[in-house]
Amino acid sequence: MFSKHSATPASAEAPLSPYRRPFSTVYVEQAAISYPRTQRILSNLPEHEMILCRDYREIFNRTRQNPVLQKNTQALILAVSDRARVYEGAPVCQDFGNDRFYYSSDVMNCVFDCEYCYLQGMYPSGNIVVFVNLEDTFAELDSILRGEGDSAPENPAYVCISYDTDLLALEPKLGYVADWINYAENHPGLTLELRTKSASIHALRELSVSDRVILAITLSPDPVIRAMEHRTPTLSARLKFAAEAIKLGWKVRLCFDPMIAVHDAAAVYNAMFDEVTAALPMDRIHDASVGLFRISREYLKEMRRNRPCAVTCYPYELSDGVYRYPAAVGDPLTKLAVDRLSEVMPRERIFLWDDATQHED
Ligand code: SF4
C-alpha cells in the first residue's frame, strides 16, 4: 500500500530517542506530491522520512490511535482536499459583530497540547493533516466575496483562518499565514482573524503587516499554562509578542478564552490581568474576547476516554448538548474579566463568549 523513501541517508540518521522529533515522518498523498506547496513544505523539513500513501484517511482515521501519545512525536500528513475548506460559522460561534462569518480548516490539529482542547474529542489522531490545495479555498472565497455585477464592490466576509490548529506556530514549516495575507491584500472585502498562542517574534517579523488581519492572541495565567497548555509559551513571552505586534502595527485582539475554574481562580486571574495591563498599551488593543471553558457532550466523552484529567473530569452542567461550569462557578469569573478589562478599554470592545461551543485556541 505504501512506498517509502528517506530524505536522509541511513548512515546519517541520528539514533532514535524515545520520541522521534515532530514531523520526522511525513506522509504524502500521491495526489499531493506534485503540488508546489508540498515541495515547499518538504524543503522546510530537511531531515524527514517521507512515506507515500493513497489517501490521508488511511493514516489519520485509523482506529485505536492514541492522540495524546501521538502528540509526543507528531507526524505530518500532506493531502489534497476534495472540497474547498471554507465553512459558514455556526450560530454558536462568536462572530464579533460580523454578519458574514466563515472559518477555514486547511490544517487539522495543532503542535500545542492543551488538556482542554476540543480537537482531542473531534479527531481520532494527534497527527497533523495539511491540505496543500489552498487555492481551492481561495477560489471558494472569491465567489463568496464577489459582488453583484462586474464593477460592484466585494461583499464583506470575516474569516477565521486559524481554526482547528495554530497556524502561526506552524508558519516556519508551512508558510500558510503569508499565503493568506497575500490573498487578503487583493480582497478589500476580507477581514481575517489569525488566532494564536505562539509567541514567535521572529515568525511575526517575517510577515507583512496587514490591516486586513486581526492578530488574536490567547492569554492565560501562568498556573493554567503550566498545568494544562503544554508546549505553549509563558504569559510573559506572549505579552512580549503582543507588545511587539502592536509596535509593528498589527491589529491585536486579546483572547481570554477559555477561562478555567482552577483552584483560587479569582486570585490567579487577577494576577494575570495585573500583568497584562502593566505590559501592554491597552488603549492600542483592537478588542478583547472573554469566554469560559465549554465543550460539546460528544467531544467531552472522547476527551474523558483519551485524557482523564482535572479539566476533562470536572462535574460540568449539561444543557442543550453543551457542558459548562455551573453559574455559581462561571459567572464570577466572567464578571472578574469584564470588570478588569472595562477599567482599561471601552465596554463595547469587550466581546463575551457565553453561548458558544467551538474554538478556544
Ligand atoms: S487549544 Fe488551541 S493552542 Fe491548544 S492545542 Fe487546541 S488548537 Fe492548539
Give the C-alpha separation, 129 to 9, whole Å: 26
Of 228, 187, 207, 220, residue with least CA distance to 313: 228
Indicate whether residue 114 lines ligand 1 (CB < 6 A). yes
Tell me how long the chain is.
361
Q: For ligand 1, is residue 117 a contact (CB within 6 Å)? A: yes
**Number of Cβ within a 10 Å radius of residue 274:** 11
Q: In this structure, are residues 23 and 75 in contact, taking their beta carbons and an 8 Å threshold?
A: yes
For residue 197, the ligand 1 atom closest to its alpha carbon is: 3
Substitution candidate for ligand 1 out of 68, 109, 112, 230 with most atoms within 8 A of CB: 112
Which residues of the chain, if any, have pLDDT below 50?
Answer: 1-14, 355-361
Q: Name all domains of the chain by residue range, CATH numbers in brackets.
A: 3-353 (3.80.30.30)
Please name every residue paired with 78 in a beta bridge, in sequence order, or none if there are none.
28, 130
E strand or H helix at 40:
helix 36-43
- How confident is the model at residue 154, as a pLDDT? 82
53-66 burial, b if ≥16 CB within 10 A, otherwise e?
beebeebbeeeebe
Q: Which atom belonging to ligand 1 lies closest to the Cα atom of 196? A: 3
10 Å Cβ neighbour count for 30? 12
Nearest CA to ligand 1 atom 2: 361
**Can you read off the three cell numbers belonging to residue 180?**
493568506
Ranges assigned E (strand) in 178-314? 190-196, 213-218, 229-230, 251-259, 287-292, 294-296
pLDDT at 27: 98
> Do the bridges between strand 49-53 and strand 3-6 make them parallel or antiparallel, or are there none, so unpaired?
antiparallel
Q: For ligand 1, atom 3, name the residue with the nearest CA.
A: 361
| Three cell numbers, residue 158 | 470575516
State whether the beta carbon of 225 lies less than 6 angstroms from ligand 1: no
Ligand 1 lined by 119 (C-beta under 6 Å): yes
Contact 184, 192 (CB under 8 A): yes
pLDDT at 224: 98
Residues 242-279 pLDDT 10s: 999 999 999 999 999 999 999 999 999 999 999 999 99
DSSP alpha helices (H): ranges in 125-258?
A: 134-145, 171-174, 176-185, 201-205, 222-228, 235-248
Give 113 Cα–ligand 1 centroid separation in angstroms: 6
